[in-house]
């Protein structure tokens, strides 16, 4: 990297990860001048045991906390306004989001409304300025995280709000909460993390801080996801996968949305499919497209995917192709281990034809809509590329 290169990077997220990490949460909140948090979650997604584990961590801390466990599958403006009223009337001073995906989006929007005294959630849009610190937001991710929990984005009915102040100030990753319910869950989380980390790494050449996060996320997925999908109840490997998801969100903050991210999000927004499932389908195709258009951009991926020795021994002109080959083998090995547990095409995922047409309508508005549409066509019902290249 040139010494005169200019770059910016902001990551306000502190991470506590490991055994009994939750038990340190009261101390962390005290350090943030908070002592009465409101926990928001969706009990149907995270389960009663996760809620008990979180609330039990407060033990004899002397803190009182409220719990709202009935968030839905999308950010509901009316519900957010009700929660805002409760938050103010009960004099809560911080928010803890238990879970991932839309649970955290709801927590971010709630935090925005109470911090900036916004009474009508419908007035929020992508143009809403968020330029000062909000109340403390803590995220406690579970196995179905998407990686965007730690990013500076919040989704509200299709609109994407963006500000570094929307990111949580603390994320607590505890192995009691990160074990996957099934193979599909941990696979989807891992592939969402890998996809965002790969795209962030490619565009992070002039930003060593962002590349450090994406490098670590890729390496964590490489080393742990295969074992995690073989045994989603394994605390060590699933904890590593969630750590990778957290780091991928930090790396992704402040970057432009790329094809894998866009495709994962549109299917999540419209069909409630975990973005990692779609990103896993699209990844081999998009990697080959990157290679044929601008192979040099992929060369840096070989280092986190293989290690120092193989990277150094591979001629520079061959690194991009070698990185793509490694990723194809990685995906093929995953699919071989998974069997039929995870869909590899939209047909296997049960996506109906009419829904694909609706997806196309949304993608056509995107500046790269023609290309994104072509990728969806390829994953509709054809043989997955990872199998072809295995």
Where in the sequence is the domain holding 75, given as residue range(s)?
A: 14-177
CATH code of the domain in which 89 resides:
3.40.50.1970
Number of domains present in the structure of the chain: 2
Q: Give the span between the Cα atoms of 206 and 360, in whole angstroms.
A: 34
Cα–Cα distance measured from residue 184 to residue 338, given in angstroms and rounded to the nearest whole number:
9
CA distances from 216 to 106, 151, 200, 240, 326 (A): 28, 16, 12, 11, 17
Task: Give domain status of residue 5, yes or no.
Answer: no
Single residue among 145, 177, 209 that ends a domain in this structure: 177
Q: How far apart are CA 194 and CA 279, in angstroms?
A: 9
- How confident is the model over 89-104, as pLDDT tens digits? 999 999 999 999 999 9
Does a structural domain hold residue 2? no
For residue 38, the SS3 value is strand
Q: Are 37 and 94 in contact (CB under 8 A)?
A: yes
Question: Do 94 and 128 fall within a single domain?
Answer: yes
Q: Are residues 158 and 193 in the same domain?
A: no
Which among 97, 267, 125 has a CA at the least distance from the CA of 195?
Answer: 267
- Does residue 6 form part of some domain? no
pLDDT given at position 295: 58
Question: Which pLDDT score, from 0 to 100, does residue 356 have?
Answer: 94
Q: DSSP states of 159-205 as a string?
A: EEEE-GGGS-SEEEE-HHHHS-SSHHHHHHHHHHHHHHHHHHHHT-T
- What's the pTM value of the predicted model, to 2 decimals? 0.91
d(CA 218, CA 225): 10
Q: CA 376 → CA 208, 310, 349, 360, 390, distances in Å? A: 33, 34, 13, 8, 21
The H-or-E segment that residue 329 falls in is helix 319-338
Torsion sign (Cα): 42, 45, 48, 52? negative
Assess whether 127 and 188 both reside in one domain.
Answer: no
Show which of 137, 153, 177 is a domain's final residue.
177
Residue 197 · residue 243 · CB < 8 Å: no
Give the residues across from 96 on adjacent strands.
Answer: 39, 138
Q: State the pLDDT at residue 382.
A: 64
Query: Which pLDDT tens digit goes with each residue over 188-245?
Result: 999 999 999 999 998 756 688 888 999 999 999 999 999 999 998 899 999 999 999 9
Give residues with Cβ within 8 angstroms of 184, minimum separation 6: 277, 341, 342
Same structural domain for residues 226 and 314?
Answer: yes
Mean pLDDT by 10 residues, the chain (390 residues): 64 91 95 96 95 93 93 93 96 97 96 93 88 95 93 89 93 93 91 94 78 94 95 92 95 85 93 94 92 78 94 93 95 88 89 92 94 94 51
SS3 271: helix
Q: Do residue 110 and residue 236 come from a single domain?
A: no
Is residue 121 domain-shared with residue 250, that is, in the same domain? no
Q: For residue 4, tell me if it sits in a domain.
A: no
The answer to whether residues 267 and 275 touch, using CB atoms and an 8 Å cutoff, is yes
Which DSSP category does 70 fall into? B
Same domain, 201 and 330: yes
Residue that terminates a domain, selected from 131, 146, 177: 177
Distance CA 332, CA 317 (A): 25
Q: Encoding tokens for residue 57?
A: 């961590």
DSSP annotation of 317 reads: G
Q: Are residues 233 and 146 in the same domain?
A: no
Could you tell me if 165 and 277 lie in one domain?
no
CATH number, domain of 347, equals 1.20.1090.10
């Amino acid at each position: 990297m040139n010494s005169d290169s200019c770059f910016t990077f902001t990551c306000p997220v502190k991470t506590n990860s490991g055994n009994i990490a939750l038990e340190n949460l009261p101390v962390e909140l005290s350090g943030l001048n908070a002592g009465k948090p409101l926990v928001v979650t969706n009990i149907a997604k995270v389960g009663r045991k996760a809620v008990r584990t979180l609330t039990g961590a407060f033990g004899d801390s002397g803190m009182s906390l409220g719990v709202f466990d009935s968030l839905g599958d999308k950010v509901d403006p009316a519900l957010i306004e009700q929660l805002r009223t409760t938050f103010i009337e009960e004099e809560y001073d911080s928010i803890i989001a238990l879970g991932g995906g839309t649970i955290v989006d709801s927590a971010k929007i709630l935090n925005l409304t109470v911090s900036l005294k916004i009474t009508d959630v419908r007035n929020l849009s992508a143009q809403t300025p968020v330029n000062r610190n909000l109340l403390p937001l803590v995220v406690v991710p579970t196995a179905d995280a998407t990686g965007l929990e730690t990013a500076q984005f919040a989704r509200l009915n299709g609109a994407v709000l963006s500000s570094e102040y929307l990111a949580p100030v603390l994320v607590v990753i505890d192995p009691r909460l990160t074990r996957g319910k099934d193979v599909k869950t941990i696979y989807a989380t891992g592939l969402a993390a890998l996809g965002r980390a790969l795209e962030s790494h490619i565009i992070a050449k002039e930003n060593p801080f962002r590349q450090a996060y994406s490098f670590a996320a890729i390496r964590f997925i490489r080393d742990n996801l295969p074992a995690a999908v073989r045994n989603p109840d394994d605390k060590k490997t699933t904890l590593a996968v969630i750590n990778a998801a957290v780091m991928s969100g930090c790396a992704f903050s402040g970057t432009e949305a790329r094809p894998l991210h866009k495709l994962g999000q549109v299917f999540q927004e419209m069909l409630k499919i975990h973005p990692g499932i779609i990103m896993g389908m699209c990844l081999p195709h998009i990697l080959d497209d990157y290679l044929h258009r601008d192979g040099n951009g992929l060369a840096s991926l070989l280092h986190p995917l293989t290690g120092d020795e193989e990277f150094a021994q591979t001629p520079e002109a061959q690194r991009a192709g070698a990185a793509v080959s490694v990723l194809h083998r990685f995906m093929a090995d995953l699919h071989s281990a998974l069997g039929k547990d995870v869909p590899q095409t939209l047909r296997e995922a049960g996506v109906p034809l009419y829904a694909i047409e609706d997806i196309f309508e949304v993608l056509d508005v995107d500046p790269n809509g023609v290309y994104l549409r072509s990728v969806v066509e390829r994953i509709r019902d054809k043989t997955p590329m990872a199998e072809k290249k295995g």
